Amino acid sequence: GTFKVLQVADMHYADGRSTACEDVLPEQVAGCSDLNTTAFLYRVLRAEDPDLVVFTGDNIYGADSTDAAKSMDAAIAPAIAMNLPWAAGIGNHDQEGTLSREGVMQHLVGMKNTLSRFNPEGVEIDGFGNYNLEVGGVEGTLLANKSVLNMYFLDSGDYSTVPSIPGYGWIKASQEAWFRKTSSSLQKNYTSQQPSQKEPAPALAYFHIPLPEFSSFTASNFTGVKQEGISSPSINSGFFTTMVEAGDVKAAFIGHDHINDFCGKLTGIQLCYAGGFGYHAYGKAGWSRRARVVSVQLEKTESGEWQGVKSIKTWKRLDDQHLTTIDSEVLWNRGSNGRGGKDHDRS
């Protein structure tokens, strides 16, 4: 009755052993390399045994990588070696090496055990790696052939291509249109096709660059830390509003700003950073590299029949001596849509 997702943000993988760590304590410098990132990934995969691993971009640091394809193979190798299904999107550094953004995504979708997709078929859409995954109910139950949890993956771009707009890229209108259409049809199927459900299945969104709305929080209304500015695009292309209007996305997960790892709730949607995972990525010496886990729990009737999703929880794992679990919280409970009423979803 649980489905567990491990989010790995910003591995910044390059050439393995010969690629040095950034922002570690003086006593950690000697012998520290990309292989520390690999070791952390193995540790956390063994400890959590997730049902799906999601890599949210800057999986490799293209500029320091001799061969982008080899770097990706090495970065994702632990998930493949442990035979886990995985999905990936791209960030703003993956394409700065020997492959274009399109080339990076083409390589990812050809790798073993991947659920990543290049783009929806027959749709004109910006970017690469826009796709959705459907998580079916328990086998042998009425919901076995229905998607009880939806996952959307979007390419948040790299850098602005509009001369008058500086800074990072953004989610474009074509992507929002695809999201709207996909969300609407999934919701319709879930609530109208037999066995019809009262309310739509909850959904999670994964991409790389934060939306401007990630700047909406103060320390009093989030869990985790904010230790750097929110590096969102300099314009707001409206994707947050699109998610609010669609109504099914309960949480959105990103990376990009490595030393932020908070979750905050805005108009019914939890906006969550994972915190930086990779050792060749900038960080903060003495502040552990980390990963975010999301655990989705199904409802069970009194007669023991598995139903749709009951709750969505999250916590983080640190790459310290004990692989410490921190900041466990409930992101969403069925029946609390987060729009008014008392808010009881902090564990």
Q: Is-contact 236 173, C-beta < 8 A?
A: no
Q: Are 296 and 52 in contact (CB under 8 A)?
A: no
**What confidence tens digit (pLDDT) does each residue in 82-115 have?**
999 999 999 999 999 999 999 999 999 999 999 9
Can you give the pTM of this predicted structure?
0.95
Residue 287's DSSP bridge partners are 284
**CA-CA-CA-CA dihedral for 318, 322, 327, 329, to nearest 10:** 110
Which tokens hold the place of 232? 């969102």
Helices marked H in 49-169 — which ranges? 68-81, 101-109
Domains along the chain with CATH numbers: 2-333 (3.60.21.10)
Place 225 in a pLDDT band, splitting at 50, 70 and 90: very high
Q: How far apart are CA 138 and CA 146, in angstroms?
A: 9
Here the tokens at position 59 are 């999986």
**Which tens digits make up the pLDDT trace of 169-223?**
999 999 999 999 999 999 999 999 888 899 999 999 999 999 999 999 987 889 9
Which tens digit of pLDDT belongs to each residue from 283-305? 999 999 999 999 999 999 999 99
